[in-house]
Amino acid sequence: MSYRVCIPCAGTGSRLGPLTRFINKALVSVANRPALAHIIDKFPTDSEFVIALGYKGHLIKEFLALAYPSRTFFFVQVSPYEGEGSGLGRSLLACQEFLQQPFVFNSCDTLVAETIPPPEYNWMGYAERHSFEQYRTVELQDGLVRVIAEKSDVDDGRAKPYIGLAAVNDHDEFWSMMLHGGDNAILTGEVHGLRGLLPLKIHAHGFTWHDTGNLPALERTREAYSRPNQPNILEKANEAIWFHQGQVIKFSDDPRFIDNRVKRAGILRGYVPRITGAQPHMYSYDEAPGEVLSKVVTLPLFERLLGHCTTFWARRELAPSELHVFHNDCMKFYKEKTLERVDLFYKTFGRCDGAETINDRPMPRLSFMLQGLNWDWLAAGIPGRFHGDLHFENILWNVQGQQFTFLDWRQDFAGDLSTGDLYYDLAKILHGLIVCHELIAANQFRIQWEADRIDYDFHRKQVLVACEAYFYRWMGGLGFDVRKVKVLTALIFLNIAALHHEPYGLLLYALGKAMLASELEGL
């Protein structure tokens, strides 16, 4: 049976707090895929979808264009989608033109484990919950829904929480109820129309329900959907990486970021995957075979990687005028960006530049250290082809093909797409040797920040410690300035601290400041 599915995605997702600052709530990640993708995949391939759009609705359209190019979608813009006059019923009424037939209603924050029945008859989905005061409920008798109650009218003895999943077979009666419901229908949503179907029979279906509509429920859903060996993605508010049916889809709220990433994929051809699709805020490519290097690294394999990188880092001979521009780019990328990011860190985490001890070691203010840093020495880089985020989570090793693939390359180096500083890639490698994303994702670290002291610690893998020692010898043998690499690594930790959530962001700041202090003692 071919049928349509209505998924309202117009709301702002305010209950998810900072997670929906840059994306629509339907795109919040669950097991490294948007919640919306989990919903769509529960329905037959010939189903058609009616999507109500509002807050950041353009991102919904972009994702679906990349992820489901052969599926049929009808998009409806809802106005207003927030404030006075808005409500779930407003979204439904905006969609009625495309739903003059039996359809399934699926809230964009409702995931279920079981097969979803088609709308061959009216039905409503419920789940078992010990506590459900925050949900509307249904009272059941002989497999039918007899009462649909508001949150304030819960009868604990017979009530089951309604999960925002239902089928409407008698669509004429449903829409008549909605159209004559006025403000009550707008505020109540699909439940107002479903109440009109109670005399015609509404069957009840039980589901294993996973809610993504608020932060505690989302965390439980993520735990339920987590799988062994899934990629370790450290979440950022304005970026995401999704793995979908053999594709990787990268999102950023910055269109220039995406455009430059796509252009640089051509510059790095042969070392990174080929882009298969692009939208203003997203691009896609086929998943490359292999394992992330963090899971399979050995010292011999690390040595082999450095040999591969030596070929990748094609050095560029620059004319004096070009070299001057490159030096200015390095200064902008290292000094100006660091000062901006440190200031952002203080604002984001409510901290200030202090002289706290770190792990019982007296520290000057960070501003004092940054003022005393020889930025000209740091900006005297080596121009060449660069990756820009070269750590083990962004490197795949395909043992069958004996091949490395670089992922998640940086979009530019101070605006330059083709030429960057090789020292920055070296520092990125070192930063990944020191901090292992896998262990961070497993919360294998601690950070305590008090008024006058900071204490931190984090676990490390012994193989990475061995690789770090070899890395220093390798760089020294090739004439690289090892101390410069260490200082840049400290600055990297300080730069990325503002981009991550607490407490990891606090750890990165403390680690970067302590490492910078250690290296400046020898300069």
Average pLDDT, the chain: 95
Q: Looking at residue 227, what is its pLDDT?
A: 84
pTM of the predicted model as reported, rounded to 2 decimal places: 0.88
Residue 304 lies in a domain: yes
Residue 276 lies in a domain: no
Domain identity same for 210 and 305: no
What's the average model confidence in pLDDT over 118-135?
88
**pLDDT exceeds 70 at position 28:** yes
Q: Tell which phi-psi region holds residue 443, choosing left (phi > 0), alpha (psi between -120 and 50) or beta.
A: left
Q: Looking at residue 135, what is its pLDDT?
A: 84
Residue 246 lies in a domain: no
Residue with tokens 């042969």: 270
**pLDDT exceeds 60 at position 523:** no
- CATH code (residue 105): 3.90.550.10
Domain identity same for 215 and 327: no
Q: State whether residue 359 is helix, strand or coil.
A: coil
Is residue 404 within 8 A of residue 396, CB to CB? The reply is yes
User: Pick the residue with more confidence: 236 or 501?
Assistant: 501
Query: pLDDT for 39-56, tens place per residue?
Result: 999 999 999 999 999 999
Q: Specify the number of domains making up the chain.
A: 2
Residue 250 lies in a domain: no
Domain identity same for 13 and 115: yes
In the chain, the amino acid numbered 167 is: A
Q: State whether residue 103 is helix, strand or coil.
A: strand
pLDDT band at 145 (very low <50, low <70, confident <90, very high): very high
pLDDT band at 158 (very low <50, low <70, confident <90, very high): confident
| Residues in contact with 246: Cβ distance below 8 Å, sequence separation at least 6, in sequence order | 286, 287
Domain boundary among 170, 192, 225: 225
Domain boundary among 178, 193, 225: 225
Domain identity same for 308 and 215: no
Residue with tokens 């895929």: 33
Residue 253 lies in a domain: no
Distance CA 27, CA 500 (A): 19
Q: Looking at residue 152, what is its pLDDT?
A: 58
Q: Looking at residue 438, what is its pLDDT?
A: 87
> Pairing between strand 453-458 and 357-358?
parallel
Query: pLDDT for 77-107, tens place per residue?
Result: 999 999 999 999 999 999 999 999 999 999 9
Domain boundary among 202, 225, 248: 225
What's the average model confidence in pLDDT over 355-363?
95
Q: Looking at residue 97, what is its pLDDT?
A: 97
Domain identity same for 29 and 164: yes
Residues facing residue 195 across a β-bridge: none
In 3D space, the residue among 517, 515, 362, 356 whose CA is nearest the CA of residue 450 turns out to be: 356
Residue 235 lies in a domain: no
pLDDT band at 451 (very low <50, low <70, confident <90, very high): confident
Domain identity same for 303 and 220: no
Domain identity same for 340 and 415: yes
Domain identity same for 343 and 456: yes
Domain identity same for 194 and 329: no
Domain identity same for 32 and 176: yes
- CATH code (residue 501): 3.90.1200
Is residue 476 within 8 A of residue 482, CB to CB? The reply is yes
> Pairing between strand 247-252 and 239-244?
antiparallel
Residue 74 lies in a domain: yes
Domain identity same for 382 and 475: yes
Residue 277 lies in a domain: no
Query: pLDDT for 395-414, tens place per residue?
Result: 999 999 999 999 999 999 99
Domain hosting 443: range is 290-520
Among residues of the chain, what percentage have pLDDT more than 90? 91
- Radius of gyration (Cα) for the chain, nearest Å? 27
Domain identity same for 161 and 15: yes
User: Pick the residue with more confidence: 440 or 154?
Assistant: 440
| Residues in contact with 313: Cβ distance below 8 Å, sequence separation at least 6, in sequence order | 384, 385, 386, 422, 425
